[in-house]
Amino acid sequence: MGLKEKFRKSKVVGKVKQVHRPKKEKSNVRKDNSKRIAFFVWTLIFGILFIATLSILLSVNTRSTLNETNRNLLAAEDEETQEEISQEQANEFLSSFIRVYMNVPKDSEARQERASNLQNYMVFNDSFNNEKNDMYIAGGEGTRNLESFTLFNIEESQSNTVYQYKVVFTNKLETEVETGNGKNKKVETEVEEEQQTLLLNIPIVVENGLFSIPSVPYFTDVPSLAGNIEYETESIDLEEYNGNEKENIMIFLNNFFEKYTTETVEEMSYLMEEPETLNGSFLFEEIQDVVIYQDDDSYKVLLKVNFKDEISGIQQVNDIEMNISKDGSNFYVDEFKYK
């Protein structure tokens, strides 16, 4: 290598060494944390809303439970403070009232006495202490006569108790009518009357064992208590018996009912587990529609028994079910019941 080339190469190397790489400065650009912050903020908001909603629901539920508890306590206090009504005494009080209220005389003086008596049964207030109350002024020219009354039903309410009585009464009107002319002229009395049956509804209140009527009694129609109720007879899962003992059972049944209508309870104890008797109230006429079933070592018997009254001859036919067992040569009634 020549001197010139060495000099050139050393010069190039010197220049290369003189070139310095600038130091890499740290970037001043910050990372984007906005999404993380937004997520945290919304989570916080939703958490607050959830806690607030839960607090409201718990508060409402607690208040509802508290109100229910208070209602139960008040109801219990009312039950404790509500005076128990003696049905016998109430019926005695109302029976006396019904006789006064239902009987309306024609005579004005008797009506005034009725009004005074009615005041003794009513509550003490401005309305019923006033003798001009419509309840005391019956009005009309006719009369009302009570025929009979019976307690029908008792209806309970929070404010009072209503006793319903079935009352039979007659409304009657007598009017004088002139008939004929001249010497044949005369005055006759025409009578118009009608019998009715209604429910008399009487509210009562009680205090210290004493009764009063807080409002005017009212009439309603008597409801029917009869209903078409479906009722299926019990089925018997046994085979009908037609064996050798059937004739002996029939003889026993006839003898049994002869004694059942005439003998004493002591005598029937030899024939029945739970002895009973008609003791001469009816005569035994005949047995009908006998069906016998065998139940292991005993017999179930279904039959109709015709009794009759000795004097009138009026018949009484009853369905009877019997369970009969045999002890040696004798039969015995283990169970006896009317169907």
What pLDDT tens digit does each residue of the chain (339 aa) get?
554 555 455 554 455 445 555 555 555 555 556 677 777 777 888 788 878 787 777 776 666 665 665 566 555 444 444 557 789 999 999 999 999 999 999 998 999 999 999 999 999 988 888 888 888 888 888 999 999 999 999 998 777 899 999 999 999 998 877 777 777 777 778 889 999 999 999 999 999 989 999 999 999 999 999 888 887 777 777 888 888 899 999 999 999 999 999 999 999 999 999 999 998 999 999 999 999 999 888 999 999 999 999 899 999 999 999 999 998 889 999 999 998
One-character DSSP codes across 211-279: EEB-S--EEEPPPP-------PPPP--SPBP-STTHHHHHHHHHHHHHHHTTS-HHHHTTTBSS----T
User: What per-residue confidence (pLDDT) applies to 32?
Assistant: 58
Q: Write the single-letter amino acid at 211.
A: F
Question: In the numeric block, which tokens belong to residue 180?
Answer: 């004929």
Between the alpha carbon of residue 269 and those of residues 190, 244, 279, 313, the distances in Å are 66, 27, 13, 29
Question: In the numeric block, which tokens belong to residue 89?
Answer: 């005494």
- If DSSP codes are grouped into helix, strand and coil, which group holds residue 70? helix
User: What per-residue confidence (pLDDT) applies to 16?
Assistant: 47
User: What per-residue confidence (pLDDT) applies to 81?
Assistant: 42
- If DSSP codes are grouped into helix, strand and coil, which group holds residue 59? helix
Cα angle for residues 141, 143, 147 (degrees, 5° grid): 165
Q: Integer distance in angstroms from the first to the last C-alpha of the chain?
A: 147
Instruction: Work out whether strand 298-308 and strand 315-327 pair parallel, antiparallel, or are unpaired.
Output: antiparallel
- In 3D, which of 168, 208, 221, 200 has the Cα closest to residue 94? 200
User: What per-residue confidence (pLDDT) applies to 308?
Assistant: 94
User: What per-residue confidence (pLDDT) applies to 197?
Assistant: 96
CA contacts within 13 A on the Cβ side of 164: 13
- In 3D, which of 155, 152, 162 has the Cα closest to residue 203? 162
- If DSSP codes are grouped into helix, strand and coil, which group holds residue 314? coil
Instruction: Work out whether strand 143-156 and strand 298-308 pair parallel, antiparallel, or are unpaired.
Output: unpaired
